[in-house]
Amino acid sequence: MTLEADRVDVERGGLTLVRAASLAVEPGECVAMIGPNGAGKSTLLHALSGAQTPARGVCRLDGRPLAEYAPAELARRRAVLPQAPALGFPLNVADVVALGRSPHAGFSDRGEDRRVIQAVLAEADIAHLSERTYPSLSGGERQRVHLARVLAQVWTARCGDSSARYLMLDEPTNNLDIAHQQRMIATAASFAQYGNGVLAVLHDPNLAAQYADRLVVLADGTVRANGPPDEVLTSSLMADIFGVTALCRTHPRTGRPFVLPA
């Protein structure tokens, strides 16, 4: 039950944005993709979600090419939080979150949908906002609403369904204060602990290393490193990939690596 890209090339506008990229996300695993701007991180995530068709190679879920899934079937197995989700209707927060249950029409009843919505509102720390209208929210609050919405889309894996679900987050901490950045990624990592997979594109290597089981580093459209955070985050990698001089140390309390600009 793996979500994988197998030697994928992605082209757009005559340019190859991702080259021969291979990446797998296993159930129970939280994977963070890091790399400089323009490295191809979002493009590879979109290919793995099924939104972008590779020019070469194939993306699979459970060994089956994504192109073979019906849209609603795929939507019940993976949910994507884009960089800048847009919504122009004055719905209240609970109704926005309920949109995530759309692919489950005919597969769940209203009672289950209500239980899921209440659970994800609490998980995203927005239960107190449930009656507020979406346009009245701050940027950070809107981002948490959309986290709850995509969680609602794949929450059935937490309710006894044996099939792994996949949560895909594209720079999810935009517009969030430091506390909610931590809460956002901790919530995603918790989702993985229930036998699901998480793939998150992040800019902050320290935030990625704090929560991810594995780091994937992209540069110039290619996968340059893939492994546990304490093996991937090195001073030489920070210099080669990001062009910065940094010290890589181990946090005395968590045992996780962290990067300190030198």
Structure confidence by residue, pLDDT tens digits, 33-43: 999 999 999 99
Q: What pLDDT digit, counting tens, does each position of 160-174 carry?
A: 457 899 999 999 998
Residue 17 has pLDDT above 70, yes or no: yes
CB 77 within 8 A of CB 156: no
Which one-letter DSSP state was computed for residue 104? G
Question: What is the spatial order of strands in the sheet that 197-201 belongs to?
Answer: 78-81, 166-170, 197-201, 29-34, 214-219, 222-227
* Angle at which helices 139-154 and 178-192 cross, to 10°: 0
Q: Of the candidates 150, 134, 142, 146, which has an alpha carbon nearest to the alpha carbon of residue 101?
A: 150
Confidence at 84, pLDDT banded by 50, 70, 90: confident
What is the per-residue pLDDT for 161? Answer: 59
In this model, does residue 159 exceed pLDDT 70? no
29 has a pLDDT exceeding 90? yes
Section 1-20 average pLDDT: 95
Q: What's the chain's length in residues? A: 262
CA 2 centroid distance within chain: 15
| pLDDT tier, 1 (very low <50, low <70, confident <90, very high otherwise) | confident
pTM for the whole structure: 0.94
**Do 3 and 199 touch, CB atoms closer than 8 A?**
yes
In Å, what is the CA distance from 180 to each residue of 155, 186, 228? 21, 9, 24
State the DSSP code for 142: H
Is residue 28's pLDDT more than 50? yes
C-beta of residue 96 within 8 angstroms of C-beta of residue 87: yes
- Helix (H) / strand (E) element for 41: namely helix 41-49
pLDDT of the residue at 174: 82
Q: What is the pLDDT of residue 86?
A: 77
Residue 239 gets which letter from DSSP? I
Cα angle vertex 222, ends 218, 227, to 5°?
A: 55
Q: What percent of the chain has pLDDT over 70?
A: 97
**Mean of pLDDT values over 14-42:** 97
Q: What is the pLDDT of residues 198-218, one digit of tens each?
A: 999 999 999 999 999 999 999
Mean pLDDT value across residues 91-113: 94
pLDDT computed for residue 216 by the predictor: 98
Mean pLDDT, all residues of the chain: 93
